[in-house]
Amino acid sequence: MSSRTDPVLWATVLIVFAVSVTLAVSRYVRVDPASWDLGIYVQAVRQYAEFDTPISQIRGPDFHVLGGHWHPILMTLAPAWWIAPSPVTLLVAQALLVAVSIPPVYRCAAELLGTGEARLIAPAYGLSYGLVNLSWWDFHEVAFAVPLLACSLSALARRRWLTAACWAVPLVAVKEDQGLAVAAIGIVLTVVYRRWILGAALAVWGAGWSLLAVYVLIPHFNPQGEYVFWRYGGSLEHLLRGVDVKLETLLLAVLTVGLVALRSPIAFVGLPGLALRLWSSNPSYWGSNWHYSATLMPILFVAAIDGIARLRVRRAVGQATRLGAWLSHHAPAMIVAAAAVGALSSPLSQLLNPANFRLDEHDRAAWAAIDVIPDDATVVASMDELAPLAARTETAWWSTDWRTPEWVLFDKESSDWKVDIDVILDRYPGYEIAFERDGIWVLRRR
């Protein structure tokens, strides 16, 4: 059956989209963001939509967002912002990017393994821990890399060399480190498949853009003239730290696809990004939470499909080991079982918690406080309220050294502010209380 007409595939796409939207939007509605990231991206997309310089006051005073990461692909969200200028637009767009990455993975599995196994692997991929975490932890630009990698690697596994290269080329506009994934695809094309010219050109394109972004473009837009993430550069000492967390990350990645991904050269594409994470001195990169494993998912699942297909070829000619023959038959079921077990400890379990879909008194107070502040005002706010305010005001985070705002929103329960209201009143003299409810204050400049 063609992937275009398979109802199981499209049901899977719709379910994954619905799950992703539900997870992301439920956090937003409850004013419970994971970090300040959603607010920063809202400011960037809003500025792009207004044909203005992408400045994020949340990130820092007059901070150009391309001075942090190289992600000009965010410009493509401007038309969606014209239609619906809301942080929810970004969350829905991210869910859509995850959902549209499923058909190329399905198509690869259907062509190399068969329709039945493709129907098993597609939902296991769509609800894998890396993609679910991406939806749960707000919005991030790497969402664009997920369908691009899925399309490129699906074509690569099916020996569509030019198609694979064309889908890989735009990855350099997603984030500065994605150029290394492009270079890795080029190396696989060159070394494994002997596509010398195409592979070499792709490797140079990817590595060249990463170097250009890190050493020229990002420092150009950065206020300090540097690539700030070099501060997290690791060493051998850092590599040996957090070994338990790093081993857990590696084991989870490998076991998710039943070991068979290691049978495919496509797995090499995930090595640069994974190595950078484990080498970093920042512990946030080591684990499997947050969005850092999202781009691993299309790589590992396509590699697993290719690995199973390679094992079946060896079995057909009588060259497979006993373990290889067993894996070639049972690996798809193992992948589904691993996905089911992983779902128990992933954010999917949040769908079973009724509290995630009910506003409490503090949530209602937060939205009431947000509504007090007029459009286009200048406001300093706590982290939890940054994103909704950034969609319609000039918003900064309270800890940034920013000019005197017209309004201040203080949420005592926010994940960043753990101080008393008196501290805030001392910091902003000459302000009067315009709103007070359930530990949330809005101050207005006199």
More confident residue, 397 or 403: 397
pLDDT tops 70 at residue 75: yes
More confident residue, 399 or 250: 250
pLDDT at 1: 58
pLDDT tops 80 at residue 187: yes
pLDDT tops 90 at residue 355: no
Q: What's the half-sphere exposure (Cβ side, CA atoms, 13 Å) at 281? A: 9
pLDDT tops 80 at residue 440: yes
pLDDT at 238: 66
More confident residue, 366 or 325: 366
pLDDT at 234: 61
pLDDT-above-90 percentage for the chain: 63
Which band of pLDDT confidence, cut at 50, 70 and 90, is reported for residue 3? low
pLDDT tops 70 at residue 71: yes
pLDDT at 236: 64
pLDDT digits (tens, 9 = 90+) for 166-175: 999 999 999 9
pLDDT-above-70 percentage for the chain: 96
pLDDT digits (tens, 9 = 90+) for 99-154: 999 999 999 999 999 999 999 999 999 999 999 999 999 999 999 999 999 999 99
pTM for the model stands at 0.93
pLDDT at 338: 81
Q: What is the 3-state secondary structure (H, E, C) of the chain?
A: CCCCCCHHHHHHHHHHHHHHHHHHHHHHHCCCCCCCHHHHHHHHHHHHHCCCCCEECCCCCCEEHHHCCCCHHHHHHHHHHHHCCCHHHHHHHHHHHHHHCHHHHHHHHHHHCCHHHHHHHHHHHHCCHHHHHHHHCCCCHHHHHHHHHHHHHHHHHCCCHHHHHHHHHHHHHCCCCHHHHHHHHHHHHHHCCCCHHHHHHHHHHHHHHHHHHHHHHHHHHCCCCCCHHHHHCCCHHHHCCCHHHHHHHHHHHHHHCCCHHHHCHHHHHHHHHHHHHHHCCCHHHCCCCCCCCCCHHHHHHHHHHHHHHHHHHHHHCCCCCHHHHHHHHHHHHHHHHHHHHHHHHCHHHHHHCHHHHCCCHHHHHHHHHHHHCCCCCEEEECHHHHHHHHCCCEEEECCCCCCCCCEEEEECCCCCCCCCHHHHHHHCCCEEEEEEECCEEEEEEC
